[in-house]
Chain A
């Protein structure tokens, strides 16, 4: 059983009823995010990049290191950073290695490495010789579990066409305990902003759900201790999920009218995600808005956004798609038309000689970098305190492969925006000399104020923060 009282129980004990809650809280509850909160946003997209279109080069075949503004050649995939005008806020740490990925049972050629991309440690192999879970909590979940619970949501997971379980997903609370992303904006709109319902209605509905969760909570808590230890962990994880739900439904945590009004612009735009080419970018628009609003409203400090599944096979040519020009190249070429899923595009698109796929793969990668850059631009243009939201936010964009064709994982394609309180020096391309992702994740812990963390996932690849980037 739980020890201590939840806010809800406290409310009950003090004699407050549902109808009284708004009074109890005061009308301005949650109008402003708690000040001084640091934020972390991790975005992942799968299936690698074409190295020469992503990594800055000197133009003569050598790698380029130095200020982003001084690059002699503009790689097509990172050009959107410049288009958005945020190049002075972005760090490109090159030669950071997914050291855990090398120990993946299928390393480094398997899609399973998506599972432990953010956990820095591999799990034992499942059936078929591949991993079936992250080897530990992903960095976002680790941080979320360590931060004082001052926001309604410990963390938020946004997804877009993240379908095939468990291989779709990089966010884990622990081994065999996924924290799956939510791909349906309408569900997030409901959970985060009340789905446009009136406060009275929301209060009633939440009271109802909480009453049901009380029963679930009680029974999970009574059953778990009797189970064998391995099974007990699973019920405890379930209970943890219920606690997160209780927190999000707590009447105290109703979003403020300012927040719900702001988020209203997503209404009426929900669609069923059926066809990737037609719906992917539309769902993204909604997810990106909801993500931004939730940070503005102080709903969470830690968020992730997982762009599609590593096994996407959903492309067909569609005129409404932002990739239609490139996809038409494929449709017109029977010989190449085998590659009409992102997975295949990545496989075949890693050789410049394969003109159509190469173009599509670059367009897709550039599109994802663009979404990152636009998001950074939004943070940069939103005033907060004496500066902007970007001042207290770190945004990471990462891919699980370097080369989508061969599935080779080294080094990890990586962009970081925000300085993390001086841990990252933006506007540079830096040679990280094969430091492990684990050290980047220690840096992220420090950026979020968890400065006593010295190693992440495992210390066998190295300890301490990522060096040479500040």
Chain B
């Protein structure tokens, strides 16, 4: 079945400083039922929850989040577990603390003003306006009835079975309720049904659903008023209209859009598993300065760096992988071996680094220290991460007979000697040949990420080797060279596209269902010289982002 059978022909996308614009006759994407990966029900991530609350209340912070960490699988893709009892308790506690603080700070009074009108009318107005933003679409009558129920019960005198609260306290309870409702916590999509649609059919999303996907992806938050207005006015129904919104949402070219930075930061958090950097422990004897401030700084460095590359530098993947600068504060200056007088404590400053030693994200401590043991490096962990996250390769888990104990520390022996069983034992070598020789090329960066040339009496061999890859095979003289080769490797570029795609959709790409979308995204990314802003825009405008498949057992809304 074909939907939206627009004219064939390549989308005449014009590049404007990395952003996609349809100058004339953007063609609409073509859909057929064979295409479109399966989409799981998405629940807001903790970042999306937090950002949404900040934007809904227009505040810069709020108390007791009570949120849990994301449930992610080994590749950093969400596993979408059901809400557990402790999650439900957490949502209830968070909602209570947030609403309480909104009440006390006067935010609530601003959101739900009531002068010269009946309280009920004011409460209803609040539910409709605040609910529209929180649910990312107009509030239905039945939802209004539910929330009016909460308000009315709160307002009713105790003698009449109510809670006997005043107007604002009662509104506070409706706010609390909204923050706990599935319409806020989940991305509940229906799409535009018609009489021929049934299970398995692919239907366009409603404009509000498109707006929600755009903002949760690019801003990690609810849509703003302008985006909701675009949905309401039907402007998201065309590629042209969507492209204009996407351009506005990404900012750039002199207009910074802080909300777009959240998207890039959240992507880096997942892709590079930055939560690990925040937890990693180092030997107190060898790295006495590796403290909580260092742990907190590593992920922040990488997020600031990426955000800067995307929105203030040239936006290119090559730059993300190879730039000889980063954002450094005092704890990180210890690792980089930098002059500290210029730095002000925990404040990050854009800092030039030695281009012979440092190139992009793979020479940052968030990778080097998190993919190492506490006293010494692990060529296996570093190599594995690069194969998994930068090349999207699947490495089978160790076989049942494997003893996964790392070799003992011995500073009198070069690291690659210590790990030699991984290559000499044929049972290990089959997989480890893909990991250890890549990681070994990082041996000049110690377990904290500091550069060194010697280990004990040995000069460290700076070279590594890539085996069994699609297009990277061969020796390399350390991470700086590897980073350059990754930047020009089609396999690495393709992997990056898939990683952002997974992030955007909260799921793995489907080799068949998503192929068409991915092909066109890849083409645009490549045409732009691998501009990440263009990649974000291509994903946002791809057919997979504008349609959904009706699931088995789904009932017409």
Q: Chain A: residues with CB nearer than 8 A to chain B?
A: 12, 17-19, 102, 105-110, 126-130, 132-133, 157, 163-166, 173, 176-182, 187, 191, 204, 207-209, 211-216, 218-220, 222-223, 225-235, 237-238, 241-242, 244-245, 313-317, 331, 334-341, 344, 347-348, 350, 354, 405-407
Contact = CB atoms under 8 A, between A and B. Distances in A.
A204 B88 CA distance: 20
A106 B405 contact: no
Interface in B148-194: 149-150, 153-154, 158-159, 161, 163, 173, 176-177, 180-183, 186, 188, 190
Contacts of A334: 283, 285-286, 375
A235 B88 contact: no
Nearest to A128: B74
Contacts of B553: 227-229, 232
Interface stretch (B79-87, B327-335, B479-487): B79-87
B70 interface: yes
Given A110-B397, A215-B149, A176 B80 contact: yes
A215 B150 contact: yes
Contacts of A222: 142
Ranked nearest first, the 8 interchain pairs of A and B with the lowest CB-CB distance are: A228-B551, A128-B74, A237-B82, A338-B375, A229-B553, A106-B397, A231-B41, A241-B88
A464 B161 CA distance: 52
Contacts of A406: 402-405
Given A211-B154, A237-B83, A337 B182 contact: no
A212 B176 contact: yes
B176 A226 contact: no
A157 B87 CA distance: 13
A17 B396 CA distance: 61
Contacts of B181: 215-216, 219
B397 A133 contact: no
A128 B551 contact: no
A223 B188 contact: yes
A344 B409 CA distance: 12
Nearest to B90: A187
Contacts of A176: 79-82
Contacts of B394: 128-129
B83 A241 contact: yes
B388 A331 contact: no
Residue of A181, A212, A226 most packed against chain B (CB within 10 A): A212
A204 B162 CA distance: 11
A335 B284 contact: no
Contact of A165 (B70, B158, B173, B403): B70
A229 B75 contact: no
A18 B154 CA distance: 13
B79 A314 contact: no
Contacts of B173: 208, 211-212
B68 A234 contact: no
A361 B411 CA distance: 24
Chain B interface main SS type: loop
Contacts of B163: 204, 207-208, 211
A340 B161 contact: no
A12 to B, nearest CB: 7
Interface in B342-375: 373-375
B408 interface: yes
B423 to A, nearest CB: 20
A51 to B, nearest CB: 14
Given A12-B161, A313-B279, A211 B153 contact: yes
Given A166-B79, A215-B150, A225-B555, A17 B376 contact: no
A216 B180 contact: yes
Contacts of B388: 128
Interface string B400-424: 1011111011110000000000000
A315 B281 contact: yes
Contact of B161 (A17, A128, A213): A17
Contact of A178 (B81, B400, B555): B81
Contacts of A211: 150, 153-154, 163, 173
Given A173-B82, A223-B183, A234-B80, 14 more contacts: A17-B159, A165-B70, A216-B177, A219-B143, A226-B554, A228-B552, A237-B83, A238-B83, A241-B84, A242-B88, A245-B89, A340-B281, A340-B284, A405-B403
B550 interface: yes
B405 A347 contact: yes
Interface string B259-303: 000000000000000000001110111100000000000000000
27 contacts: A18-B158, A19-B158, A109-B397, A126-B79, A128-B73, A128-B74, A128-B394, A129-B394, A165-B70, A179-B84, A179-B85, A181-B86, A191-B89, A211-B173, A212-B180, A218-B149, A226-B190, A226-B555, A227-B554, A232-B553, A234-B43, A238-B83, A238-B88, A331-B284, A335-B409, A344-B374, A348-B405
B77 interface: yes
Contacts, number: 246
A173 B40 CA distance: 20
A426 to B, nearest CB: 32
Given A128-B388, A337-B374, A233 B82 contact: yes
Given A109-B404, A336-B409, A178 B84 contact: yes
B147 A215 contact: yes
B557 interface: yes
B339 interface: no
A178 B90 CA distance: 14
A201 B383 CA distance: 57
Nearest to A227: B554
Given A109-B404, A344-B374, A347-B406, A219 B183 contact: yes
B92 interface: yes
B398 interface: yes
Contacts of B404: 109, 347, 406-407
B82 A223 contact: no
Given A18-B158, A129-B74, A213-B92, A340 B374 contact: yes
Nearest to A337: B283
B408 A348 contact: yes
Contacts of B405: 347-348, 350, 405-406
B478 interface: no
Contacts of A407: 404
Contacts of B143: 219
B284 A157 contact: no
Residue of A216, A230, A237, A347 most packed against chain B (CB within 10 A): A216
A300 to B, nearest CB: 12
Interface in B133-151: 142-143, 146-147, 149-150
B324 interface: no
Interface string B83-110: 1111111001101100000000000000
A337 B284 contact: yes
Contact of B69 (A165, A214, A331): A165
Contacts of A166: 71, 79, 81
A39 B21 CA distance: 66
Contacts of A129: 74, 394-397
A128 B393 CA distance: 9
Contact of B281 (A106, A231, A313): A313
B286 to A, nearest CB: 7
Given A238-B88, A341-B374, A230 B40 contact: yes
A233 B163 CA distance: 34
B508 interface: yes
Contacts of A132: 71, 73, 79
A109 B400 contact: yes
B79 A106 contact: no
A230 B281 contact: no
Contacts of B180: 212-213, 215-216
A223 B142 CA distance: 11
A218 B146 contact: yes
Given A176-B79, A228-B554, A244 B85 contact: yes
Given A163-B69, A234-B80, A130 B183 contact: no
Nearest to A249: B92
